[in-house]
Amino acid sequence: MAIGFISAGIALWLAQPTRRSLVIGGVVAIAGEAVRVWAAGHLEKGREVTRSGPYRIARHPLYVGSTIIGAGAAIVSASWTVATLIALYLAVTLTAAIRSEEADLTEKFGGEYPAYRRGASEPVARRFSVGRAIANREYRAVAGLLAALALLAWKAL
């Protein structure tokens, strides 16, 4: 967790946002957060192999959303150095998280998770739930994104 805050501080310091980069990158980052909220509103963490909503099309939609947010942050920063740092950070942390989660899910749910990975399990019909997204604490990511965009906007002005 500390590495994330340190990396964010360095990225903020090196960023050179402009009004244009804020608008374009902000839209991209908000789209990434929308993917995360959609995923969090379907996720029954630790209870099942979730197969509804975005989990029908991607094994790790929260990380897809995070990657889109990272792309938006890179655009906002208007800095190739920051974009490179973001790409490296996401590559390292998300790769490690995916490996760990997939091992845990396979251990917890046996053959059900490998079947899901292969696309051999049926999707589940479940409605999106704001309550589920809140229970999964996605409001923290929303608040963090808004704070980061506000800091970058302040820096641009």
Q: Per-residue pLDDT tens for 72-114?
A: 999 999 999 999 999 999 999 999 999 999 999 999 998 999 9
Tokens coding 38: 């959609």
DSSP letter assigned to residue 41: T
Please state the domain extents for the chain.
16-156
The predicted pLDDT at position 30 comes to 98
- Residue partners of 44: CB distance under 8 A and separation at least 6: 50, 132
Q: How far apart are CA 79 and CA 152, in angstroms?
A: 12
Is residue 22 within 8 A of residue 156, CB to CB? The reply is yes
The amino acid that residue 110 corresponds to is G
Query: Are the C-beta atoms of 49 and 103 separated by less than 8 Å?
Result: no
What torsion do the CA atoms of 113, 132, 23, 90 make, to the nearest 10 degrees? Answer: -30
Ranges of the chain with pLDDT below 70: 1
* Contact predicate 45/136, CB 8 Å: yes
Q: pTM surpassing 0.95? A: no
Residue 76 and residue 152 in contact, taking contact as beta carbons nearer than 8 Å: yes
Residue 62, SS3 per DSSP: helix
CA-closest candidate to residue 86, choices 2, 33, 157, 15: 15
The rounded radius of gyration (Å) of the Cα atoms in the chain is 17
pLDDT of res. 1:
62
